[in-house]
C-alpha cells in the first residue's frame, strides 16, 4: 500500500465551553512520519463535512485516528465513524484513548466501523501500525492493538507504557494552539499540558489503573520547563493546567520545575495525593506557591477510613490527613480542590451521608477548599468495590450502541444512580450540592462576579447553617439565572 495521510480526530468533548487542547492527538502526531491533519469537533460545525474534506486532501492509504473518552465524545464518535466508513470504505478507522482501552473487546466486537483499537498509550504503537499498513506487513505482532479477524476478536495485548522522556516533544510548529488558549480561574490565557504518564498507585475505583497499571513515567523537570517557556513565548500564556494524573509524585521534580518557571509569572494547577503532599516540606510548598501554584486537585475520596481502605488508596490515607492538608495548604495560599466519590458499596446510604457530613468539616477546616462530588461508577479494575457492585447486579453494556443510551452517558459522567442506589439518594446528593454550591460558590467559575457570589451566599445561609437541603428551588432558580457552572460538570 502507498503512504497516504492520517486525519486525527477529536470528537466534541468540551461540554459547551472553550475547547481543551487535544494533547492525546498531538502526542500521537509527534511520533508519525506520515502527513497528518487534526480535525477538532469542538472547533468545527459539521464533523462529517470537516473529516470528509480532510480525508480528501490525502491520496493513498488514509487513516482516521479517533480519540474517544466515554460520554459525549463517544456519542459523536460512533455515528460519525459509521458515516465516514459508509462514504470511504477504504479508510482505516483506528480508535484510541480511555474508552476503547477499557472496553476494547466490546468496541472490536460490536463497532463494525472501527478497524483497529489501540490499547493504552499508543505513542509507539501507532507509528508501528502505520509502518505495517505502508509495507503490508502483519500488524498482529505489534503490542497494544485489537482487531476483528474471521469474525472473532483478536488482540496483541497491552503495550509497555512509553517513557515521556524518550518521546518527541509536541509538534508546536505544525499546529496553531491559539483556539485552545482559554480564560480560567488561573488566568486570562490558560493552556493545558501533561508531563507524565500513569500513577504509581492502584486505587480500585480509578480509570487510570486501566490505562497505565501502576506505572509512573515522567518528563524531566528541564523538559517541562522548556515546554512551558515555549508555550509562553509562542502564546503568551499566563497560566497552565497540568493534566497529569498525579503531578506531585516527586517532590524534587516539582521543586525543580517551580525553580525553573519562577520568572515566567504563570499560575498553575495540578492533581495530587493528600498523603504525598502531607509529607512535603514547608520549603517546597512555599517554593511551589511562589512559582504560581494556585490550586491542587486532591483525591480526598471519602470521609470514611474504611471506605478509603476498601478503595485500595494505597498507603495509610485517612480523613484526618485530608483535614490536616487542607488547613496546611491555606498557610501557603494554595487552594485545595477536594474530589469525593460517594455512594460506595456495601452501604451506599451510610457512605453518602458520612461523606456529606465530612465535607462540612473540610469546609470548616478551610472554607476556601473547592468540593467536587461524584457518585461511584465502577471502573473495570478488580477489587472489593467492583465485586460488591457486581454482586448487586452491575454489568457493563455488551455493545457500543448501548453505551450511547442516556443512562450509560450519565454513568460515564459519574452522575448516575446505579441499581444499588435508591433514587432518593441521588436527589439527596443533588440537593446538598445545590446548597453547598450556593453557600460556598466555586472560585473555578471565572464568570461568577463578586456581587453574584454574595447574593447566592445570602440566599443559602439559612439552609447551610440549619442543614436543610430539601427542595432548594429558590437556589436552583438563582443558579440558573446566574448560569452557575458546577466544578464537576466542567471538570475531568
Ligand atoms: C483533559 C481531560 C479532559 C478534557 C478533554 C480533552 C479533549 N481531548 O478534548 C475535558 C475537560 C473536556 C474532559 C472531559 C471529560 N473527562 Co476527561 N480527562 C482529561 C485528562 C485530565 C487529561 C487527558 C489528556 O490530555 N492526557 C494526556 C494525553 C497525552 O494522554 P491520553 O489522553 O491518555 O492519550 C494517550 C492514550 O490514551 C492514547 N490515545 C488517546 N487517544 C488516542 C487516539 C488514537 C487514534 C490512538 C492511536 C491512541 C490514543 O495515546 C495517547 C498518547 O499516549 C484525563 C486524565 C489524564 N491525565 O489522562 C481525564 C480523563 C480522561 N477524563 C475522564 C472523564 C471521566 C471525563 C468526563 C466523562 C468527566 C465528566 N464528569 O463529565 C468528561 C467527558 C468527556 C467527553 N466530553 O466526552 C476520565 C476517564 C475515565 C474513563 N473511565 O474513561 C479521566 C481518565 C480522568 C480520571 N482520572 O478519571 N476531560
Ligand atoms: S485515584 Fe489518584 S492516586 Fe489513585 S490510582 Fe488514580 S490517579 Fe493514582
pLDDT of residue 264: 97
Domain annotation covers residue 165: no
pLDDT of residue 129: 98
% of the chain residues with pLDDT over 90: 81
Show the ligand 2 pocket: residues with CB < 6 angstroms.
199, 201-203, 206, 208-209, 245-246, 273, 299
pLDDT digits (tens, 9 = 90+) for 334-369: 999 999 999 998 889 999 999 999 999 999 999 999
CATH of the domain at 76: 3.40.50.2300
Centre of ligand 1 from the C-alpha of residue 211, in Å: 11
Domain annotation covers residue 309: yes
Examine the domain organization and report whether 252 and 144 are in the same domain.
no
Examine the domain organization and report whether 141 and 220 are in the same domain.
no
Examine the domain organization and report whether 220 and 286 are in the same domain.
yes
Tell which residue, 66, 15, 14, has the closest CA to residue 400: 66
Burial class (CB in 10 A: 0-12, 13-18, 19+), 141: exposed
Tell which residue, 163, 182, 297, 156, has the closest CA to residue 238: 182
Examine the domain organization and report whether 92 and 189 are in the same domain.
no
pLDDT digits (tens, 9 = 90+) for 395-439: 999 999 999 998 898 888 887 756 667 888 889 999 999 999 999
- pLDDT band at residue 267, thresholds of 50, 70 and 90? very high
Contact yes or no for 98/70 (Cβ under 8 A): yes
Domain annotation covers residue 482: no
Examine the domain organization and report whether 121 and 200 are in the same domain.
no
Examine the domain organization and report whether 48 and 95 are in the same domain.
yes
Domain boundary among 98, 132, 148: 148
Please give the C-alpha separations between residue 206 and each of 14, 165, 435, in angstroms, as whole numbers: 21, 25, 28
Number of residues assigned to the chain: 492
Question: Which one of the ligands is nearest to 184 CA?
Answer: 1
Phi, psi of 152 (to 5 degrees): -120, 165
Locate 434 and state its grid cell: 445545590
Domain annotation covers residue 190: yes
Examine the domain organization and report whether 206 and 349 are in the same domain.
yes
Examine the domain organization and report whether 226 and 136 are in the same domain.
no
Which helix (H) or strand (E) covers residue 7, if one does? Answer: strand 3-10
pLDDT digits (tens, 9 = 90+) for 14-57: 666 789 999 999 999 999 999 999 999 999 999 999 999 999 99
Residues sharing a CB contact under 8 Å with residue 105, sequence separation 6 or more, in sequence order: 146, 153, 155
pLDDT digits (tens, 9 = 90+) for 62-110: 999 999 999 999 999 999 999 999 999 999 999 999 999 999 999 999 9
User: What mean pLDDT is reported for the chain?
Assistant: 93
Q: Which atom of ligand 1 is nearest to the CA of 99?
A: 84
Domain boundary among 421, 440, 455: 421
Examine the domain organization and report whether 130 and 204 are in the same domain.
no
Domain boundary among 421, 442, 468: 421
**Ligand 1 pocket member 31 (CB < 6 A):** no
Examine the pLDDT at 157 and tell me if it is beyond 90.
Answer: yes
- Indicate the number of domains in the chain: 2
Examine the domain organization and report whether 104 and 210 are in the same domain.
no
Which residue lies with its CA nearest to atom 22 of ligand 1?
243
CATH of the domain at 284: 3.20.20.70
Domain annotation covers residue 162: no
Examine the pLDDT at 231 and tell me if it is beyond 90.
Answer: yes
Contact yes or no for 227/194 (Cβ under 8 A): no
Q: Which atom of ligand 2 is nearest to the CA of 207?
A: 6
Give residue 119's domain range: 3-148
**Ligand 1 pocket member 441 (CB < 6 A):** no
The helix/strand/coil state of 149 is: strand
Domain annotation covers residue 170: no
Examine the domain organization and report whether 117 and 223 are in the same domain.
no
Q: In what side-by-side order are the strands of the sheet with 190-193?
A: 190-193, 239-242, 267-272, 293-301, 335-342, 370-375
Examine the domain organization and report whether 308 and 387 are in the same domain.
yes
Domain annotation covers residue 439: no
Tell which residue, 205, 235, 115, has the closest CA to residue 386: 205
* Residue in the block written with cell 459519574: 414
- pLDDT band at residue 321, thresholds of 50, 70 and 90? very high
Domain annotation covers residue 442: no
Amino acid at each position: 500500500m502507498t503512504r497516504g495521510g492520517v486525519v486525527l480526530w477529536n470528537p466534541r468533548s468540551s461540554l459547551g465551553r472553550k475547547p481543551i487542547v487535544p494533547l492525546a492527538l498531538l502526542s500521537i502526531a509527534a511520533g508519525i512520519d506520515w502527513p497528518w491533519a487534526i480535525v477538532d469537533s469542538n472547533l468545527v460545525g459539521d464533523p462529517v463535512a470537516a473529516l470528509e474534506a480532510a480525508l480528501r486532501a490525502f491520496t493513498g492509504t488514509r487513516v482516521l485516528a479517533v480519540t474517544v473518552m466515554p460520554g459525549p465524545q463517544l456519542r459523536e464518535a460512533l455515528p460519525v465513524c459509521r458515516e465516514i466508513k459508509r462514504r470511504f470504505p477504504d479508510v482505516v478507522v483506528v480508535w484510541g484513548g480511555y474508552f476503547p482501552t477499557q472496553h476494547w473487546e466490546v468496541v472490536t466486537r460490536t463497532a463494525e466501523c472501527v478497524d483497529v483499537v489501540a490499547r493504552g498509550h499508543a505513542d509507539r504503537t501507532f507509528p508501528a501500525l502505520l509502518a505495517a499498513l505502508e509495507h503490508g506487513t502483519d500488524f498482529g505482532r505489534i503490542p497494544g492493538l485489537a482487531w476483528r479477524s474471521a469474525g472473532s476478536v483478536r488482540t496483541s495485548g497491552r503495550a509497555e507504557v512509553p517513557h515521556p522522556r524518550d518521546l518527541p516533544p509536541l509538534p508546536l510548529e505544525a499546529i496553531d494552539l491559539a483556539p485552545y488558549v482559554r480564560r480560567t480561574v488561573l488566568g486570562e490565557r490558560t493552556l493545558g499540558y501533561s508531563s507524565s504518564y500513569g500513577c504509581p498507585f492502584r486505587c480500585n475505583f480509578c480509570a487510570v489503573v486501566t490505562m497505565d497499571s501502576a506505572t509512573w513515567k515522567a518528563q524531566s523537570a528541564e523538559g517541562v520547563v522548556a515546554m512551558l517557556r515555549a508555550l509562553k513565548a509562542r502564546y503568551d500564556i499566563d497560566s497552565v493546567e497540568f493534566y497529569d494524573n498525579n503531578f506531585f509524585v516527586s517532590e524534587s521534580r516539582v521543586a525543580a520545575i517551580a525553580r525553573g518557571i519562577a520568572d515566567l509569572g504563570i499560575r498553575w494547577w495540578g492533581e495530587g495525593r493528600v498523603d504525598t503532599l502531607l509529607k512535603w516540606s514547608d520549603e517546597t510548598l512555599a517554593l511551589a506557591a511562589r512559582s504560581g501554584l494556585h490550586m491542587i486537585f486532591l483525591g480526598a475520596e471519602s470521609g470514611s477510613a474504611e471506605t478509603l481502605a476498601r478503595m485500595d488508596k494505597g498507603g495509610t490515607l485517612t480523613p484526618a490527613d485530608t483535614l490536616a492538608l487542607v488547613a496546611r495548604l491555606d498557610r501557603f495560599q494554595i487552594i485545595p480542590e477536594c474530589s469525593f466519590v460517594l455512594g460506595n458499596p456495601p452501604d451506599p446510604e451510610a457512605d453518602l451521608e458520612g461523606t456529606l457530613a465530612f465535607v462540612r468539616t473540610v469546609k470548616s477546616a478551610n472554607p476556601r477548599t473547592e468540593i467536587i462530588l461524584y457518585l461511584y461508577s465502577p471502573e473495570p479494575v478488580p477489587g472489593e468495590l467492583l465485586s460488591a457492585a457486581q454482586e448487586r447486579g452491575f454489568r457493563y453494556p455488551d455493545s457500543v450502541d448501548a453505551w450511547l443510551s442516556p443512562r450509560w452517558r450519565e454513568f460515564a459522567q459519574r452522575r448516575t444512580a446505579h441499581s444499588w442506589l435508591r433514587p432518593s439518594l441521588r436527589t439527596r446528593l443533588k440537593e446538598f450540592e445545590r446548597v453547598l454550591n450556593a453557600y460556598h460558590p466555586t472560585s473555578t467559575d471565572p464568570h461568577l462576579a463578586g456581587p453574584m457570589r454574595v447574593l447566592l451566599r445570602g440566599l443559602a445561609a439559612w439552609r447551610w447553617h440549619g442543614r436543610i437541603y430539601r427542595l432548594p428551588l429558590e437556589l436552583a432558580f438563582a443558579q440558573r439565572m446566574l448560569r452557575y457552572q458546577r466544578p464537576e460538570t466542567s471538570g475531568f
